[in-house]
């Protein structure tokens, strides 16, 4: 069955390359009431974190319609990718429609303009969001507390994000910090990725190029017609999962799943959605080590309290992931994540 949706995943925080957790979460008093939590939600200085059996995750404190709520921070890489992925079938259908239209002896000019408009809009959005996903992912792979060799100098992450080009990250910086090289392992895909990047740049920085004294945008219009959006999206997925497996997961959507999705949206509450294993903490302040970039220095966290504790017999992150939220063509739906080793623990 054709893949039709993308699982929204979460980006963990606070881990060193050698696996230890930078965040010290000892001797934390508990929040004693919902009223106390409600007051803490109003305090801009209070930060939250969710600690599972495996990882730590940021928790966003958001405000909508004058009401605060907590959201375990989703990985925006999967948001960006899901937008491009969802457009692939629409883009291919639009080009197929144009092909049929051109079989007519005298195709209608208005119809041609309408269908090409759809092709250009779908294709350009797909290209732009494909590269938003890979560039966001590249920035996530840069180490927070380690300097990187860039143009014969040791520089911090912020300098790389500001000044390094996409090609420099692709061919030099990311292989340097991960000890893996996508372009060497997948040379053809690496070359195609650089070519597609030119199309993305043309779309973002569109300039008039009058080749015949009249037409200004013939090349980009033709590039969109020639675009294989599905190939681009699959290369982006391969790249991201090469450096971090299972970051991009596509799933099949069938009638049974859609029925379950509808029921889920109607019946589930915030309490159902929140993880049943681990704790969320209010953080009063965080002491971050200043330069030097010592990989072994800790971030010292002073916590105000615990805002949620699981059941007497807690569920593992693996079990929680089975009810995590996905984003697809029809909106939210439960996902079926890949198998991951995990153990249940009773408290």
CATH for 136: 1.20.120
pLDDT interval class at 222 (50, 70, 90): very high
pLDDT of 105 reads 73
- Cα torsion 287, 64, 33, 278 to 10°: value is -60
Residues 223 and 95 in one domain: yes
pLDDT of 291 reads 42
Residues 240 and 260 in one domain: no
User: Is-contact 268 291, C-beta < 8 A?
Assistant: no
pLDDT of 256 reads 47
DSSP 298: P
Residues 97 and 202 in one domain: yes
Residues 89 and 222 in one domain: yes
Residues 238 and 266 in one domain: no
Number of domains in the chain: 2
User: SS3 for 301?
Assistant: strand
C-alpha radius of gyration, the chain, whole number:
24
Q: Model-level pTM?
A: 0.69
Domain assignment of residue 299, given as a range? 3-75+251-346
pLDDT interval class at 213 (50, 70, 90): low
Looking at every residue in the chain, the average pLDDT score rounds to 74
Give the Cα separation of 183 and 111 in Å (integer).
42
pLDDT of 5 reads 82
Tell which of 218, 246, 274 closes a domain: 246
Tell which of 246, 272, 295 closes a domain: 246
Give the Cα separation of 75 and 48 in Å (integer).
17
pLDDT greater than 50 at residue 304: no
Give the Cα separation of 2 and 136 in Å (integer).
27
Residues 35 and 84 in one domain: no
Tell which of 246, 271, 300 closes a domain: 246
Residues 275 and 220 in one domain: no
pLDDT tens-place string over residues 108-137: 888 899 999 999 999 999 999 999 999 999
User: Is-contact 119 225, C-beta < 8 A?
Assistant: yes
């Amino acid at each position: 069955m054709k893949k039709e949706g993308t699982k929204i995943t979460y980006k963990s925080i606070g881990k060193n390359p050698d696996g230890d957790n930078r965040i010290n979460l000892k001797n934390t008093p508990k929040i004693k009431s919902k009223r106390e939590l409600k007051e803490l939600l109003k305090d801009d200085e209070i930060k939250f974190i969710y600690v599972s059996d495996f990882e730590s995750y940021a928790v966003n404190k958001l405000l909508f319609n004058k009401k605060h709520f907590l959201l375990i921070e989703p990985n925006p890489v999967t948001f960006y990718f899901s937008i491009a992925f969802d457009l692939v079938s629409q883009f291919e259908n639009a080009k197929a429609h144009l092909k049929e239209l051109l079989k007519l002896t005298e195709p209608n000019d208005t119809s041609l303009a309408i269908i090409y408009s759809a092709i250009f809009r779908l294709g350009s959005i797909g290209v732009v969001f494909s590269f938003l996903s890979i560039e966001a992912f590249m920035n996530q792979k840069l180490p927070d507390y380690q300097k990187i060799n860039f143009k014969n100098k040791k520089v911090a992450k912020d300098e790389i994000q500001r000044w390094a080009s996409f090609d420099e990250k692709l061919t030099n910086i990311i292989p340097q910090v991960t000890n893996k090289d996508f372009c060497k392992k997948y040379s053809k895909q690496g070359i195609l990725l650089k070519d597609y990047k030119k199309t993305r740049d043309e779309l973002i920085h569109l300039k008039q190029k009058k080749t015949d004294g009249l037409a200004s945008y013939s090349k980009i219009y033709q590039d969109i017609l020639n675009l294989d959006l599905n190939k681009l999206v699959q290369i982006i997925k391969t790249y991201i999962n090469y450096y971090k497996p299972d970051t991009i997961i596509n799933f099949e959507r069938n009638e049974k799943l859609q029925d379950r999705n509808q029921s889920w949206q109607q019946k589930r509450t915030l309490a159902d959605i929140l993880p049943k294993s681990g704790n969320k903490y209010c953080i009063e302040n965080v002491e971050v080590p200043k330069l030097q970039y010592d990989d072994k220095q800790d971030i010292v966290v002073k916590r105000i309290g615990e805002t949620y504790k699981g059941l007497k017999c807690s569920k593992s992150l693996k079990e929680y992931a089975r009810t995590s939220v996905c984003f697809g063509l029809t909106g939210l739906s439960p996902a079926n994540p890949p198998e991951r080793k995990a153990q249940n623990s009773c408290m």
